[in-house]
């Protein structure tokens, strides 16, 4: 039995420039971090006593005789791409819900590939894991997704990630002092809006809008470098939050699918209650909203957003890990 643990992520700056339609023509970049909320994939060989060959559990239950009959696109693609012929039992658990803006679909694919490669006895590098997950999602399944989520989930940590023509990806870890790390961590506030949506559907609108949003995406790209410079300053947090606010105003203009009146009201309440800045995470349309605020305002913000679920978070640095391995049943 194998269990992989793969982190979700929050993206601060650069979202939208990680789509191949953008960065294969001009460079893209993001600043993002993985957090201490995880997706778990349990994988083992299915004993040969059943009428089916594959037993898969996620929000649905599948029992199929062939890999082609599997409905979950990522599970099917990962098994086929790795050429696994054994019967398998695969179970998915997660700390946070899907379709919520934290890169859950890509986290799932990274965790699945990590578990299945380990099942085959292969040690896979973080870089290959990221590239393989990107290939599965963008080229095999044909999802409208960018490339930062798979990279974040594989590598882990707070990173400046560059995307270049020819699908070249460079991961640059951002090293903060213990004091700065604690400052950033203590200012993060995450709320669940409850509005589920499918990221790929909204991303499709963003991709279609790229040719008409070159100025906005270029400004978003420039903000990544601005944010890097801000993080070098001793007293960085307010300026970092203000820049996050500026980026949200740009992001919400990409397409009408990203925000709505309810989300705008939530965001306005957070800012009025003391937050420096924030953003809706992921492609938009719902899910989790992030605020950056001085801890002295946290109680006020939570009170004024009491209809939302508050989720305490911390940053993590390990990326996808195999947390349990036993070949006793293989």
Block mean pLDDT (10 aa), the chain, length 330:
97 93 92 97 94 95 97 97 96 89 92 98 97 97 93 98 96 96 97 68 54 79 96 96 93 73 92 96 79 98 97 97 82
Please check whether residue 152 is in contact with residue 34, taking contact to mean a CB–CB distance below 8 angstroms. Answer: yes
**Closest CA relative to residue 297, chosen from 205, 173, 187:** 187
Residues 6+ apart with CB under 8 A from 46: 53, 54, 55, 86, 87, 88, 89
Please tell me the predicted confidence (pLDDT) of residue 206: 53
The pTM score is: 0.93
Residue 209 CA: distances (Å) to CA of 19, 21, 180, 249, 261: 12, 11, 37, 16, 21
**Domains, the chain, ranges and CATH?**
2-174+316-325 (3.30.230.10), 178-310 (3.30.70.890)
Residues 6+ apart with CB under 8 A from 51: 65
Please tell me the predicted confidence (pLDDT) of residue 133: 98
């Amino acid at each position: 039995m194998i269990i992989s643990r793969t982190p979700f992520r929050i993206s601060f700056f650069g979202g939208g420039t990680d789509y191949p339609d953008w960065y294969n023509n001009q460079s893209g970049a993001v600043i993002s971090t993985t957090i201490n909320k995880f997706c778990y994939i349990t994988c083992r060989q299915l004993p040969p006593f059943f009428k089916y060959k594959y037993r898969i559990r996620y929000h649905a239950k599948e029992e199929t005789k062939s890999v082609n009959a599997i409905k979950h696109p990522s599970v099917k693609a990962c098994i086929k791409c790795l050429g696994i012929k054994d019967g398998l039992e695969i179970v998915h658990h997660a700390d946070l819900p899907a379709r919520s803006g934290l890169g859950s679909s890509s986290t799932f694919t990274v965790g699945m590939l990590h578990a299945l490669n380990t099942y085959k006895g292969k040690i896979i590098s973080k870089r290959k894991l990221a590239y393989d997950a990107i290939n599965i999602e963008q080229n095999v399944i044909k999802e409208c997704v960018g490339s930062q989520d798979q990279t974040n989930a594989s590598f882990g940590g707070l990173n400046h990630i560059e995307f270049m023509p020819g699908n070249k990806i460079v991961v640059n870890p951002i090293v903060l002092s213990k004091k700065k790390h604690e400052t950033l961590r203590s200012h993060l506030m995450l709320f669940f809006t409850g509005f589920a949506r499918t990221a790929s559907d909204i991303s499709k609108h963003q991709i279609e809008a790229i040719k008409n949003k070159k100025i906005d995406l270029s400004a978003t790209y420039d903000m990544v470098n601005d944010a890097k410079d801000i993080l070098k300053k001793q007293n960085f947090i307010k300026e970092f939050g203000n820049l996050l606010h500026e980026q949200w105003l740009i992001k919400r203009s990409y397409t009408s699918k990203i925000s709505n009146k309810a989300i705008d009201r939530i965001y306005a309440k957070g800012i009025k209650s003391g937050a420096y800045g924030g953003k809706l995470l992921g492609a938009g349309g719902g899910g989790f909203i992030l605020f950056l605020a001085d801890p002295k305002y946290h109680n006020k913000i939570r009170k004024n957003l009491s209809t939302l679920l508050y989720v305490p978070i911390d940053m993590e640095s390990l990326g996808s890990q195999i947390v349990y391995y036993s070949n006793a049943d293989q």
